[in-house]
Amino acid sequence: MNPSDTVLATICARIKVAAKQAGYGPVKLLAVSKTRPAANLRQLADQGQQHFGENYVQEALSKQRELADTDLQWHFIGPLQSNKCRDVAQHFDWLESLDRHKLIEPLSRLRPSSRGPLNVLIEVNIDAEPGKSGCAPEQIAVLAELITKAPMLRLRGLMAIPAPHEDPPLQQTAFRRMRKLFEQLREGYPPVDTLSMGMSDDFETAIAEGATEVRIGTRLFGPRH
Ligand SMILES: *Cc1c(COP(=O)(O)O)cnc(C)c1O
């Protein structure tokens, strides 16, 4: 057996255990594959991993071409510049980092109808870190309304990258605040079903606090260089 087989299986098993303990329902694994060659993605795809997250548009498009024979779901998770809206609208299944209203109209207009609506998460700067992407919690409602009105976008939920804390209880509060915002959003928009939070070092804490999707890179692929 290839060593990466056990890595994926181990992570999936840990996610399952954490999800069962948390009791919020199943948790999806997004394999974060920025900087990894297409061959690494294919290895995981061959073992059944379907969702991949990419941060850089050009890098992602080149891997998509190499993996065109697969049926993978591509999530854009990096900061999105306006001039990349066309590429994301045309080539991704999900956008997890929508954080300002300016992006909404072009994304919807440039989405090919043959692909169906683009799934969208609003990224929240939950720890109000200066210079970091993500909207303020107070802006969620307005963005949600605009996304819902855009014909080729489908609002699916929220994403966050909390500030790293040495102290697990502090980390926990950020995840807990996100879960609250997610539940508030879902009251107004029942189809909302995705709360993307938790990475290699904190995914089990995130799941305990109600993540429905975790984004894992390093622990699946090894350290990035
Ligand atoms: C890189 C990245 C991850 C994965 O981080 P790891 O610590 O390698 O698991 C998750 N989410 C986003 C938005 C990222 O950019």
Q: Which atom of ligand 1 is nearest to the CA of 221?
A: 8
Among protein residues, the one whose CA lies closest to atom 5 of ligand 1: 217
CA distance 70 to 85: 24
Domain containing 169: what range? 3-221
Give Cβ neighbours of residue 17 (< 8 Å, ≥ 6 apart). Answer: none
pLDDT at 185: 98
CA of 188 to the centre of ligand 1 (A): 29
DSSP 48: T
158 touches 185 (CB < 8 A):
yes
Whole-prediction pTM: 0.97
Residue 40 buriedness (CB in 10 A; 0-12 / 13-18 / 19+): middle
Predicted confidence at residue 3, as pLDDT, reads: 63
Tell me how far the alpha carbon of residue 184 lies from the centroid of ligand 1, in angstroms. 26
Q: Say how far apart CA 156 and CA 136 lie, in whole Å.
A: 18
Amino acid 225: pLDDT: 75
Q: Ligand 1: list residues with CB < 6 Å.
A: 32, 34, 55, 77, 161, 199-200, 215-219
Whole-number pLDDT of residue 66: 98
What's the confidence (pLDDT) of residue 165? 81
Q: How far away, in angstroms, is 28 Cα from ligand 1 center? A: 15
Given this model, what pLDDT does residue 154 score? Answer: 98
Q: Which of the 8 DSSP states describes residue 1? A: -
Nearest-angstrom CA–CA distance, 111 and 29: 25
Q: What is the pLDDT of residue 76?
A: 98
Which atom of ligand 1 sits closest to the CA of residue 97? 13
Q: One digit per residue, pLDDT tens: the chain, 225 residues?
A: 566 679 999 999 999 999 999 999 999 999 999 999 999 999 999 999 999 999 999 999 999 999 999 999 999 999 999 999 999 999 999 999 999 999 999 999 999 999 999 999 999 999 999 999 999 999 999 999 999 999 999 999 999 999 988 887 888 999 999 999 999 999 999 999 999 999 999 999 999 999 999 999 999 999 987
**Domains contained in the chain, number:** 1
> In CATH, what number is assigned to the domain containing residue 130?
3.20.20.10
Q: How far is the CA of 114 from the centre of ligand 1 (A)?
A: 30
Counting atoms of ligand 1 from 1, which one is nearest the CA of 215?
10
Of 182, 165, 174, the residue nearest 206 (C-alpha): 174
pLDDT of 4: 61
Residue nearest to atom 7 of ligand 1 (CA): 200
